[in-house]
Amino acid sequence: MVNSVYTSPGILGMAIDPPAWVDKYIGIPFVDRAGSHTESDCWGLLEMVLAEQFGIQLPSYPRYAYEEGKDRKKISDYMFQMANKHPWKEVHISNCQPGDALLIRMGGLKTHVSVVVSQGWMLHTEKGIDSVRERYDGAIWKHRVLGAYRHVDLFK
């Protein structure tokens, strides 16, 4: 597995270094339909970080609703549906704060999420890559981010 940190300059200017708590989430192996410190998919990582760092309980993604890694259209529909309903509110990418979720296009579909850990930085995992922090405004991701969403409890 790959354990890297992409550190090229981003489009949002000077980024704030991610907080120290991020380190305990780096290197978690990707396993589809999982969500723990020993293995996780992208939704499981988002759930875990929001619960542990922000006290926000997300509904579990209905991982039973698709065959492991195969029904990308169903996953895409669900991700888009979750991003556009309560308790999420869309925010401009330049106003992201820790705990915001990013909806990301992978293979032409909305099938990936990550969690913002500081301005310009996200934490995510995907098939073939252990969880990493990367610049969401860098060359690799800036054209794939479809939207930024804040849980209503983070507005308080």
Q: What is the 3-state secondary structure (H, E, C) of the chain?
A: CECCCCCCCCCCCCCCCCCHHHHHHCCCCECCCCECCCCECHHHHHHHHHHHHHCCCCCCCCHHHCCCCCCHHHHHHHHHHHHCCCCEEEECHHHCCCCCEEEEEECCEEEEEEEEEECCEEEEEECCEEEEEEECCCCCCCCCEEEEEEEHHHHC
Alpha carbon distance 78, 10 (integer Å): 29
pLDDT for 54 equals 95
Those residues of the chain that have pLDDT short of 50 are 1-12
pLDDT for 63 equals 54
pLDDT tens digits for 81-105?
Answer: 666 666 888 899 999 999 999 998 8
Domain 20-60+71-155, CATH number (from 3.30.930.10, 3.90.1720.10, 3.20.20.70, 3.40.30.10): 3.90.1720.10
- Which of 126, 106, 119 is CA-nearest to residue 10? 119
pLDDT for 69 equals 52
Domain ranges of the chain: 20-60+71-155
- Which of 131, 75, 149, 62 is CA-nearest to residue 107? 75
pLDDT for 4 equals 38
The phi, psi pair for 80, rounded to 5°, reads -65, -40
